[in-house]
Structure 1
Amino acid sequence: MTTAAETPAKANPAATDSGDSLPGFVFALSAYFLWGFLPFYLKAVDHIGAIEVVAHRILWSVPIAGGWILWLGRTADLKRALRDWRILGMAAVTATLISINWSIYVWAIANDRALEGSLGYYINPLFTIMLGALVLREKVTRLQLAAIISAFVAVAILTWEGGGLPLVSLGLVFSWGGYAYFRKTLPVGPNQSFFLEVLLLAPVALVYLLWQTLSGDRSFFGDGSWTDTGLLLFAGVATAIPLILYANGAKLLRLSTIGVMQYIVPTMIFLIAVFVFKEPFGWVRLLAFGFIWLALILYVSSILNERRRLRANLPLIEPGTRT
């Protein structure tokens, strides 16, 4: 799915001190709905190799993301990053992880594994919490711990049902979790860092597409038809526009609001997989997703409890007092 600049629950620390705004809600909701409908686009290009699709997502995101940064006039961080080998090295790591995440997701949709993709994106926030607890020694509440345990039970059920680990789900979880963790260390804004990542990946994507074209296996744009050409050119729009909307929405919303809204995407993927793509969904998978939805309820409850606690601790402002 997403390469939102950070894990949603970590997206904008300043947002914890401000209320939600209608523009922020509209921006974020638009981004999540576009990500939620992304499986339809990926299904339309499922006859094209996953790596080829990802290469086009990277290549055509460069002009869109670059043009957006120029329009915003926020090139200072980018110029500094391009002169700093340490930042470039960190960006190369995050770029590699997000390209792996994209490749797994594109392959999953093309091979009728959208349900596993949905499971992975349901688990992502819980894995981030667990990673923060283990690596950064961040505090985990009882509700969050219960949510993590519930997610582990769901994975165990699917492992038993499938005779092996749900590798698509776990691949998405680990690649996104690693991406979110290392992305926190990048000292540049979300728009600039996304552009930096696709800029670093673009030469590799271009070389791969040229090699594939020169080898005679395929044309630069799939089978060379107008349909494939249009679909692959659209890959940049499908990738960059939701990220731009999300980056702007996250600034104007509370972290708790983003934390709840992020579950729109895996829910939409789940519904599309079951009711549109008609992927198998027996009682065992229903049981597993029941534990996932229980984890969702526990996690969201922990967010709402934290919001109530913060509200209770806010100082009262006397009438007529200037703030």
Structure 2
Amino acid sequence: MNTVDRKGLWMTVMAFVVWGVVPLYWHLLKQVPSFQIIAHRIVWSSILLLGWLFLRHGRQWLRTIREQPRALTLLGVTSLLIAFNWGLYIWAVNAGHVVETSLGYFINPLINVVLGVLVLRERLTRLQWVGVGFAFAGVAWLTWQAGSPPWIALGLALSFGAYGLLRKVVSVEAVGGLGVESLYLFLPALAFVVWGEQGHGGGFIQGWGWQIDLLLILGGVVSAIPLIGFSYGVRRIPLTIVGLLQYIAPSIQFLIGVFVFKEAFGTAQAIGFATIWTGLIIFAGDNLWRSRKRSVVTGVAAVAEPVVATRR
């Protein structure tokens, strides 16, 4: 643990914990239409994030990205993906599907793996393929039991997986890229908020009460702070640790769905989730073992190098 940046580690843990408990926050806004919540979330998080970027970097962060036309185009696509992901998530939470949202973020890492294999031509070990197979079997079981695929979980996993894939191939700094996405989304979201206030489901300032208005504004903080913390931490700790920490959020969401919101979770769901969790354990375990093996080899090579040098 001495080699891990402790501040980066705790910032990353903080981000995943906030993402885990955030269903409780959005549930407080249940009386507000979901599209209004997502519009306000985009508006207030954009103001906070863009303000932070301009105060810290001036216009330089934007000039750097504007010099890459391809990056601007791809960030336009990722802005739509993240807006869809946020909107589906908030709607699902307030419609009583917190457990299924947790399933989406449990299988998201494996969706990332599949996309990496299909698009980036990455290779998996046999044991990792076994883990993917277990996860696929779990989703198939839940589909068979429910009579239809878990569309919410798949929608969240696929949209966030595609978002991660595109952000991986865009060579821009994480928070700066998020700032450009905010620029794309800000005006449409603001226009929707203004339209809503013209008698189309809005109630900001005059309709929902100051408590709800304050929660909507602070929703920008709830959205932006963990993203900034994650961006800070992920650059300072090994990706293998990030890969293990990412299960904090869906685990907390799952517990909240079952024990706080009392959502149905019977034997059939338990079998499906257990199968998926088995796949995740196999995949994460193999990844962690190989990472430690590489660290040992690297350490041995570092020790051996001075010996070889002295013999020369």
- Give TM-score scaled by structure 1 length: 0.89
Matched, 1:161 2:155: no
Structure 2 counterpart of 1:99, from 80, 83, 87: 83
User: How far apart in 2 are the matches of 1:294 and 1:216?
Assistant: 46
Shift of 1:148: 1.1
Matched, 1:228 2:212: yes
Superposition CA RMSD, Å: 2.1
User: How far apart in 2 are the matches of 1:229 and 1:33?
Assistant: 24
Give 5+ residue unaligned stretches, structure 1.
1-17
Matched, 1:40 2:24: yes
Structure 1 counterpart of 2:161, from 177, 180, 184: 177
> Where does residue 317 of structure 1 map in the other structure?
303
More off after superposition, 200-209 vs 182-191: 182-191
Q: Which amino acid aligns with 2:303?
A: I
More off after superposition, 210-219 vs 132-141: 210-219
**Aligned to 1:48, what secondary structure does the other structure show?**
coil
How far does the alpha carbon of each residue in 1:231-281 deviate from its partner, in whole angstroms, 9 at most, with x for none?
100111010000111111112211110010000001000111011110001
Matched, 1:280 2:264: yes
Matched, 1:119 2:103: yes
> Where does residue 285 of structure 2 map in the other structure?
301
Shift of 1:107: 0.8
> Where does residue 31 of structure 1 map in the other structure?
15
More off after superposition, 168-177 vs 141-150: 141-150
Structure 2 counterpart of 1:207, from 191, 205, 209: 191
User: How far apart in 2 are the matches of 1:125 and 1:244?
Assistant: 20
The verdict on how the C-alpha distance between 1:84 and 1:319 changes in structure 2, with shifts beyond 3 A counting, is closer
> Where does residue 15 of structure 1 map in the other structure?
none
Equivalent residues of 1:119, 1:266 under 8 A apart: yes
Shift of 1:83: 5.4
**Aligned to 2:284, what secondary structure does the other structure show?**
helix
Q: Which has the higher helix share?
A: 2
Matched, 1:62 2:62: no
**Aligned to 1:214, what secondary structure does the other structure show?**
coil
Give 5+ residue unaligned stretches, structure 2.
308-312
Bigger Cα Rg: 2
More off after superposition, 69-78 vs 248-257: 69-78
Instruction: Number of aligned residue pairs: give it.
Output: 305
Structure 2 counterpart of 1:254, from 214, 234, 238: 238
User: How far apart in 1 are the matches of 2:248 and 2:201?
Assistant: 39
Equivalent residues of 2:110, 2:132 under 8 A apart: yes
Equivalent residues of 1:98, 1:175 under 8 A apart: yes
> Where does residue 268 of structure 1 map in the other structure?
252
**Structure 1 runs, 4 residues or longer, greater than 4 Å off:** 318-321
Shift of 1:318: 6.5
How far does the alpha carbon of each residue in 1:197-217 deviate from its partner, in whole angstroms, 9 at most, with x for none?
111100110111111111354
Equivalent residues of 2:193, 2:202 under 8 A apart: no
User: How far apart in 1 are the matches of 2:205 and 2:102?
Assistant: 29
User: How far apart in 1 are the matches of 2:66 and 2:54?
Assistant: 15
Equivalent residues of 1:77, 1:188 under 8 A apart: no
The verdict on how the C-alpha distance between 1:41 and 1:248 changes in structure 2, with shifts beyond 3 A counting, is same
How far does the alpha carbon of each residue in 1:182-229 deviate from its partner, in whole angstroms, 9 at most, with x for none?
112222101101111111100110111111111354323583311110
User: How far apart in 2 are the matches of 1:65 and 1:143?
Assistant: 41
User: How far apart in 2 are the matches of 1:312 and 1:222?
Assistant: 63
**Aligned to 1:317, what secondary structure does the other structure show?**
helix
The verdict on how the C-alpha distance between 1:308 and 1:234 changes in structure 2, with shifts beyond 3 A counting, is same
> Where does residue 310 of structure 2 map in the other structure?
none
The verdict on how the C-alpha distance between 1:290 and 1:221 changes in structure 2, with shifts beyond 3 A counting, is farther
User: How far apart in 2 are the matches of 1:160 and 1:222?
Assistant: 47
Shift of 1:300: 1.3
Matched, 1:291 2:275: yes
The verdict on how the C-alpha distance between 1:258 and 1:97 changes in structure 2, with shifts beyond 3 A counting, is same
1:82-93 counterparts in 2 under 5 A?
Answer: 82=66, 84-93=68-77
